[in-house]
Structure 1
Amino acid sequence: MPTKVTFLIPGFADGGAQRQCILLLNALRNDPDLELRLIHFYDGVHFELLNREGLAIQRFDSTSNYDPRNLLRVWRALHRDRPDVLMTWLHACDVYGYVLRKTLPRVAWLMTERDSAYPNELRYNLRRRLGCHADTIIANSEKGAAYWRSNGARCEVRTVSNIVPVMGTGATSLPVQPRIVTVGRLEPQKNPATVAAAFTLLARDNPALDFAVIGAGTEETALRSIIARAGCEERIAFLGFRKDVPDQLSRSTVVVSMSHNEGMPNVLLETVAAGRLAIVSDIPEHRALYGPDYPYYVADRMDPAAVAATVTKALKAPDNTALLDHARRRMEAMTPQVVAQAYKDIIAAAAKRGL
């Protein structure tokens, strides 16, 4: 008998966790040892990436991820379908996971962790308290796993890397006119204000450079103000959310990411796959990918001048992709097949414990 696994996620809005959930479902979908079901509340911009053939999908329309009626609907579905394993994604569904595990004791609860630090807010604090009761927590980075161990998780905490769907060769030519891009959600965690300010410094001193800000979020208005005050509106393009991120990365010269914290950074994995150098904040998550000897870390990620200086340094040899060798070795274990097998092993162990 195949193991019955239900994935529970609010939806597939713009975000790395949402894409990774889809990539994992696609990788596991045809496994004869698994019977997969997806429950979600809305589709979102990434939903079209999901291979839905043969996948049981149930959508409960909702105006809020935290609507308590969601929990009742999901409970009824699980009570009817009797899955062996429930895998939750993102904060609201992780909170639901605790209640579902307590009220459906034969269903093992796997909780995914896609970050490594959170603000001191009620929803994150509640998730931290309840998530410690999962049967297994699966983080996509060692820093994310350490977050749960340090917060008293009572369960097994595992680390499984993200899926990189396509490993690039790095052979695409650099653009004739250097192009500097930043890609990601325009939210405080990603520190886009510092990147925008650094772009204005570079634009002022380098008329031959092109710039693009790729992504959407609550910080966009503030970023546009920073750029307007510097008189750089014509130099720095806002492209919004894009579905062609790999192509945008291939058309760049270097990429900039000054995040305060990450899980396993999807955009940087795709940047490596595209054969492009990145200027990154000096945080453990970035060092885990690029290694200790990578020369383009920025120690003070809040200093636009430091970011601009490091970009200038990288532009002197943007084709030195040997600097990506450490990251490429890390990514050899991030193919869909390897990651799917790691999750399958965790699912099998959890289902066995739940018998």
Structure 2
Amino acid sequence: MTTNLPHVLIVLHDFSLGGTERVALRLANAWTAAGCAVTIFAGSDAGPLRDLAGEGPGIILARPAIPRGPRSRDRLGRAARAFAAGGRFDVVFVAGNYHWPVAAAFAGLDIPVVAQVSAALDKPQRGVLRRWGFERRMRRLLRHADAVVTLSDVARDQANAILRRPAATTIALPALSDAVPPPTATPDTTAPLVMAAGRLVPEKGFARLIEAFAALSQCDARLAIVGDGPDARSLHDLAERLGVAGRVTFSGYVADIRPWLDEARLFVLASDFEGFPAVVVEALAAGRPVVATDCTPATGLLRAPGAGAIVPVGAIAGLTRAIERLLDQPPPDPHALAASVARHRIGPVARAYLTLFADLRR
């Protein structure tokens, strides 16, 4: 192992099925492959992503375990600080908004802390008072973070404005493996498949998507919703009431959405708000255009020719029109769409983090 590579400490609450945890584990494996020593300090061993850690990074579990609950992130931060106090780590990586209390716990310890912004910083539904409270809490928790990583320039500028200091830098979301398969040709079928994916919760907008789909003039189109969550039953019932249950497939959770993307004509993101959703990158990498609500800075990717369409949040009729327009158009060049998101491969993203770590150590 090259001696000037850092020993990275990653703090996770557990191995829950979340985008934050998935990204952290992908980075851990990439940094290990690059020759870094990587240690994951986790509050518990629970969660389906445990196997994603592989054999490379070392995993240390809190004793006693710290399950999720009230103030559990504060306890996790204190336990991680006590573990790191021996001084053998060169940088601490705090994965996503959920883990920000960990960053606060490391204040005063002589280890650079890099905190990631993974979720939207500006959610319109917060209102003025809740937005004030969120920004105040963010400043408090990240006050001593040496660097803040955002996933887009829009989020970078928002973070710097909230923190009132130029702490943030943009590093792309590592949504793609370096071995991601090349894009496939769009299926030539008389029953085109419209696809969506995500946790089945209200803010993901699946109810609006089903309503928009039911209003399509292309009555032979099909809809696949990939994911699971508490709204599964109500979404099934909605499809029944609207008379489209025979053309809507609910797959449940799948570990890899790529086989579904390969069968799809286009992908739809109908959320109220998002940070920088990996599914948009994955869809474009598969060569599929995307219809998305204007809920995330990731919609900037859709301004490339043929990449898709952006509609206002909550606009059911707008979703219907955009889906119909893309179904009526010839499919875009899948290789051009894939090339537009090449910077989201894990290799260049992991190297960008290592450059940031080196700058902080200097």
TM-score range normalised by the length of the shorter chain:
0.7 to 0.9
Give the secondary-structure state (helix, strand or coil) at the position aligned to 1:137.
strand
**Partner AA of 1:346 in structure 2:** L
Paired residue for 2:29, among 26, 30, 48?
Answer: 26
Paired residue for 2:210, among 169, 178, 196?
Answer: 196
Deviation beyond 6 Å, 4+ runs, structure 1: 121-124
What does residue 268 of structure 1 align with? 280
Residues 296 and 172 of structure 1: CA distance in aligned 2, closer, same or farther (over 3 Å): closer
Counterpart-to-counterpart distance in 2, 1:154 and 1:130: 14
Counterpart-to-counterpart distance in 2, 1:136 and 1:48: 29
**Partner AA of 1:275 in structure 2:** G
Residues 153 and 14 of structure 1: CA distance in aligned 2, closer, same or farther (over 3 Å): farther
Compare 281-290 and 260-269 and name the one that shifted more. 281-290
Give the secondary-structure state (helix, strand or coil) at the position aligned to 1:301.
coil
Q: TM-score, normalised by structure 2?
A: 0.85
Give the secondary-structure state (helix, strand or coil) at the position aligned to 1:228.
helix
**Contact conserved, 1:9 with 1:90, CA < 8 A, in 2?**
no
Structure 1 residue 223 displacement after superposition: 2.7
Compare 181-190 and 294-303 and name the one that shifted more. 294-303
Paired residue for 1:312, among 321, 324, 331?
Answer: 324
Counterpart-to-counterpart distance in 2, 1:22 and 1:37: 11
Structure 1 residue 167 displacement after superposition: 4.3
Residues 337 and 86 of structure 1: CA distance in aligned 2, closer, same or farther (over 3 Å): same
What does residue 334 of structure 1 align with? 344
Does the alignment pair 1:257 with 2:269? yes
**Contact conserved, 2:113 with 2:145, CA < 8 A, in 1?**
yes
Residues 299 and 172 of structure 1: CA distance in aligned 2, closer, same or farther (over 3 Å): closer
- Render the CA deviation track for 1:265-287: whole Å, top value 9, x for unaligned: 21111111111121122356234
Structure 1 residue 108 displacement after superposition: 0.9
Does the alignment pair 1:64 with 2:68? yes
**Contact conserved, 1:111 with 1:138, CA < 8 A, in 2?**
yes
**Contact conserved, 1:279 with 1:297, CA < 8 A, in 2?**
yes
**Contact conserved, 1:175 with 1:251, CA < 8 A, in 2?**
no
Counterpart-to-counterpart distance in 2, 1:89 and 1:347: 15
**Partner AA of 2:21 in structure 1:** Q
**Contact conserved, 2:150 with 2:170, CA < 8 A, in 1?**
yes
Give the secondary-structure state (helix, strand or coil) at the position aligned to 1:12.
coil
What does residue 344 of structure 1 align with? 354
Residues 318 and 293 of structure 1: CA distance in aligned 2, closer, same or farther (over 3 Å): closer
**Unaligned residue ranges in structure 2 (runs of 5+):** none
Counterpart-to-counterpart distance in 2, 1:69 and 1:270: 35
Paired residue for 1:75, among 81, 84, 88?
Answer: 81
Structure 1 residue 172 displacement after superposition: 3.7
**Contact conserved, 1:174 with 1:252, CA < 8 A, in 2?**
yes
Residues 331 and 98 of structure 1: CA distance in aligned 2, closer, same or farther (over 3 Å): same
Residues 124 and 22 of structure 1: CA distance in aligned 2, closer, same or farther (over 3 Å): farther
Give the secondary-structure state (helix, strand or coil) at the position aligned to 1:180.
strand
Residues 190 and 124 of structure 1: CA distance in aligned 2, closer, same or farther (over 3 Å): farther
Superposed counterparts of 1:206-355, under 5 Å:
206-283=218-295, 285-291=297-303, 294=306, 296-317=308-329, 319-321=331-333, 325=336, 327-352=337-362
Give the secondary-structure state (helix, strand or coil) at the position aligned to 2:159.
helix
Counterpart-to-counterpart distance in 2, 1:140 and 1:345: 16
**Partner AA of 1:217 in structure 2:** G
What does residue 35 of structure 1 align with? 37
Residues 217 and 147 of structure 1: CA distance in aligned 2, closer, same or farther (over 3 Å): farther
Counterpart-to-counterpart distance in 1, 2:288 and 2:207: 23
Compare 36-45 and 295-304 and name the one that shifted more. 295-304
- Render the CA deviation track for 1:323-344: whole Å, top value 9, x for unaligned: x73x544423223221111100
What does residue 170 of structure 1 align with? 183
Residues 213 and 125 of structure 1: CA distance in aligned 2, closer, same or farther (over 3 Å): farther
**Unaligned residue ranges in structure 1 (runs of 5+):** none
Counterpart-to-counterpart distance in 2, 1:124 and 1:245: 34
Give the secondary-structure state (helix, strand or coil) at the position aligned to 1:101.
coil
**Contact conserved, 2:291 with 2:310, CA < 8 A, in 1?**
yes
Q: Percent identity?
A: 19
What does residue 95 of structure 1 align with? 101
Structure 1 residue 251 displacement after superposition: 1.5
Compare 175-184 and 125-134 and name the one that shifted more. 125-134
Give the secondary-structure state (helix, strand or coil) at the position aligned to 1:315.
helix
Counterpart-to-counterpart distance in 1, 2:231 and 2:79: 34
Structure 1 residue 155 displacement after superposition: 4.8
What does residue 92 of structure 2 align with? 86
Counterpart-to-counterpart distance in 2, 1:231 and 1:263: 33
Counterpart-to-counterpart distance in 1, 2:75 and 2:209: 41
